[in-house]
Amino acid sequence: QKEVEQNSGPLSVPEGAIASLNCTYSDRVSQSFFWYRQYSGKSPELIMSIYSNGDKEDGRFTAQLNKASQYVSLLIRDSQPSDSATYLCAAANFGNEKLTFGTGTRLTIIP
Amino acid sequence: DVKVTQSSRYLVKRTGEKVFLECVQDMDHENMFWYRQDPGLGLRLIYFSYDVKMKEKGDIPEGYSVSREKKERFSLILESASTNQTSMYLCASSLGTGAKEAFFGQGTRLTVV
């Protein structure tokens, strides 16, 4: 079983709708979680980090963490064509500086 | 802004060559990482360094070595390049001491022929 799992997609969402990206992790000691956006041919770019249970909002992005269910999600409100990219979920354990990445979900926003 | 710079955007090397990939960060970060990214396999950690001259193997270290002689620079070495090392190589750095957010360089697309 992979430590961080994501649905590879592709996920297609109409412009203006809410895109919901999901990630599960297997290691219960994971404490820090990150969402990266990667455009085709480019390197990953950090968009959100979350450490506590609940929601964290930043502009059109909301990260949600549920440690009991070992589940992290990213919501993108008012989706724009520029949001079309692969979204990578990553987790880190306490005392461990390494990130473990999922394989990413490809998101396409349809105009 | 954190800047992580990789020395080459594209490289083509021959089988058996020794290949050096260089990475420099300008934010005094403690940690530096080398990943490779392949379709369907995601990002896989090759090596990690948490201090000058310190290194730790990642998930796929075979066929690679690293060097960190200065804090800002982390080099990945392919001792004898093989075709299965054709990939996108990504360098990243993070502040350390609990701040785990990693920032990536632009990537090096390596083709071994």
Closest chain A residue to B107 measured between Cα atoms? Answer: A43
Query: What pLDDT is stored for residue B47 in this prediction?
Result: 96
Q: Which two tokens stand for residue A49?
A: 């980090």
| pLDDT score recorded for residue A27 | 83
The answer, for B78 touching chain A at a CB cutoff of 8 Å, is no
Cis bond upstream, residue A111 (ω within 30): no
Grouping H, G, I as helix, E, B as strand and the rest as coil, residue B8 is coil
Return contacts of A42-45, CB within 8 angstroms, 24+ apart. A42/B106, A42/B107, A43/B90, A43/B104, A43/B105, A43/B106, A43/B107, A44/A88, A44/B43, A44/B90, A44/B104, A45/B104
- In order along its 113 residues, chain B shows pLDDT tens digits of 669 999 999 999 999 999 999 999 998 999 999 999 998 888 999 999 999 999 999 999 999 999 999 999 999 999 999 999 999 999 999 988 766 789 999 999 999 99
Measured CA to CA, the distance from residue B54 to residue B71 in angstroms comes to: 10
Count residue pairs from A and B with Cβ separation < 8 A.
45
Q: What was the pLDDT predicted at B89?
A: 98
Question: What is the chain B residue with the closest CA to A91?
Answer: B100
Whether A11 has its CB under 8 Å from any CB of chain B: the answer is: no
With contacts defined as CB-CB under 8 Å, which chain B residues touch A8?
A: 40
Interface of A with B in 14-43 (CB under 8 A): 32, 34, 42-43
CA A8-A14-A18 angle, to 5 degrees, is: 75
Please tell me the distance in Å from A34's CA to the nearest CA on chain B. 8
pLDDT of residue A94: 72
Residues 6+ apart with CB under 8 A from B99: none
Interface contact A47, partner B, CB < 8 A: no
A42-93: per-residue pLDDT in tens? 999 999 999 999 999 999 999 999 999 999 999 999 999 999 999 999 998 8
In chain B, positions 25-54, which contact chain A (CB-CB < 8 Å)? 30-31, 33, 40-43, 45, 48, 50
Residue whose tokens read 């430590």: A3
Residue with tokens 């219960």: A28
N-term to C-term CA, chain B: 37
Residue A3 has pLDDT above 90, yes or no: no
In DSSP notation, B22-51 reads EEEESS--SEEEEEEEETTTEEEEEEEEEE
